[in-house]
Amino acid sequence: MKIQETQTQIKEVGVAPFSLPLRKFRQWKTGLIFVVLCISAGIFLIPFIWMLSTALKSPAEAVSNDIHIIPETFVWSNFSNALKAAPFLGYVGNSLIVAFFAVILTVFINCLAGFAFAKYEFKGRNVLFMMVLSTLMIPVQIIMVPNFYILKELEWLNTYSGLIIPRAAEAFGLFLARQYMMNIPNELIEAARIDGASEFKIFTKVVLPNVKPLIAVLIIFTFMWRWNDLIWPLIVVSDKAMYTVQLGLAIVKGEHYINWTILMCLTLLSIIPILIVFLLFQRYFVQGMANSGMKE
């Protein structure tokens, strides 16, 4: 990566082989690209800005005929009203618990399985892999009822176990892990074997430390999927105390009367945690995506 960066650097700044007029041209080009990116970024931000703007307006202003981006008066009480409308903080708590444990569990088992698929030859490998792939194509709606029965038998309805464990197996995460692990040099593994390490030890001491960026990717994706999941909690939970954030949001929307300012407040609150996670891990995340190579 570093070598590439330097090479790109040289190219852009226009040192050495390039003549002066060409350097200027490249600077203009960069400038133009920057402007284009700024405009595009601005367009992408509009929904967020609009949501924020609506959340801070008074209900009357939100539906007036004059629309301003910046509210006339900043109605911060919308947030406290929103939290009164539903025990939202409790929902956030539930979602956090679910997401936290799901991340740990999913990252672990996906890395493990990804390692196995990437570095081992075993009978049935391709068939099992196809099976994993096929799970992506099952619309959750049609397996809702059978899953309900299964969860009932396991007595996992309305429990954290029911929310966390079944969904810990995430096909996409497994693919990413496999892709990434295929790039680990076999020599490292062989060397560890020669040293007499057990297979699991190889996993924990040789493989895991080398896949840091992958772990970052899996953390972000898993957190995101669990946080945003609506259908699964809908199956598992009927007790209001166990609601997750998305369920809560769906109920508020289902009430007879939609108050858009409150809705936008709650929406805003519901996306803050995931945005924080993303911002924290962004660097590793991009690295991880890059090094997975996306090979077949």
Partner 1 sequence: MKKSIRKMMYGGITAILAMFMVVGCAATPESNSSSAPVKEGEQKPAATGGESQAKETIEFVYWAAAGGEEEGFKSVVADFEAKYPDIKVNAQQVPPPSKGDYYTKIQTRIAGDDAPDVFRVQYQKIGEFASQEALLDVTDVFAPEKDQYNSSLITAVTYNDKIFGLPHHTDTLAVFYNKTYLDKLGIKPPEKMEEAWTWEEFLDVAKKLQDEKLATYGVAFNWKDTSAYRSLPFFFQNGASLISDDLQQGNVQTPEAIETFTFLQDMFNNYMSQGNSMKGSDDVNLLFTTGKAGLLISGNWMIPKWEEEMKDYEWGVTYMPMKKSSASDLGGNALAAPVNTKHPEAAKKFLAFMGEKETMKKFIEMGLFLPGRTDIEGPFNYMVKEPALLDKFIEQSTTVPEAMAKTVTLTQFAKINQSLADGLEGLFMQGISPEDTAKTLNEQINQILSGK
Partner 2 sequence: MSSLASWYQKRAIKIAPYLFIAPNIILFLVFMIIPILFTFYISFHKWTILGKPEFTGLENYVDMFTDKVFWISLWNTVYYTVGTVPLSMALGLAGAILLNRKIPLRALFRGIFFAPVVVSLVATGLIWAWMFNPNYGLFNHMLSSFGIEGVNWLSSSTWAMPAVIITTLWVRIGYCLVIYLAGLQAIPESLYEAAEIDGANGWQKFCYVTLPMLKHTTVFVLVISVIYGFMVFDLVYTMTNGGPGFSTTVIVQYIYQKAFVEGDMGYGSALGTILFLIMMGFTALQLRLGREKA
Of 102 and 274, CB closest to partner 1: 102
Is 257 near partner 2 (CB under 8 A)? no
Number of residues counted as binding partner 2 (CB under 8 A): 100
- Taking CB under 8 A as the criterion, the residue among 56, 168, 206, 265 binding partner 2 is 168
Is 290 near partner 2 (CB under 8 A)? yes
What is the per-residue binding string for partner 1 in 64-103, x denoting contact by CB under 8 A?
-------------------------------------x--
Closest CA to 223 of 260, 295, 272: 272
Is 166 near partner 1 (CB under 8 A)? no
Rg (CA), the chain: 25
Residue 97 tokens read as 């618990």
What is the per-residue binding string for partner 2 in 182-221, x denoting contact by CB under 8 A?
-----------xx-x-xxx--x----------------x-
Closest CA to 51 of 269, 274, 264: 264
Report in angstroms the alpha-carbon separations of 148 from 91, 117, 144.
Answer: 22, 31, 6
Region of residue 196 (left: phi > 0; alpha: psi -120 to 50; beta: else) = left
Is 51 near partner 2 (CB under 8 A)? yes
Of 76 and 120, CB closest to partner 2: 120
Q: Residue 88 Cβ, how far from partner 2 at the closest point, in Å? A: 13
Residue 85 tokens read as 């409308």
Of 74-82, 84-92, 96-104, 280-288: span binding partner 2 (CB under 8 A): 280-288
Cβ(270)–Cβ(220) under 8 Å?
A: no
Report the 10 Å Cβ neighbour count for 90. 15
Length of the chain: 296
- Taking CB under 8 A as the criterion, the residue among 42, 201, 255, 283 binding partner 1 is 255
Q: Residue 51 Cβ, how far from partner 1 at the closest point, in Å? A: 17
Is 18 near partner 2 (CB under 8 A)? no
Cβ(184)–Cβ(119) under 8 Å?
A: yes
Considering only residues 191 through 250, tell me which ones interact with partner 1, judged by CB under 8 A. 204-205, 208-209, 212, 215, 234, 238-242, 247, 250
What is the per-residue binding string for partner 2 in 64-83, x denoting contact by CB under 8 A?
---x----------------
Rounded Cα distance, 266 and 82, in Å: 6
DSSP state of 208: G
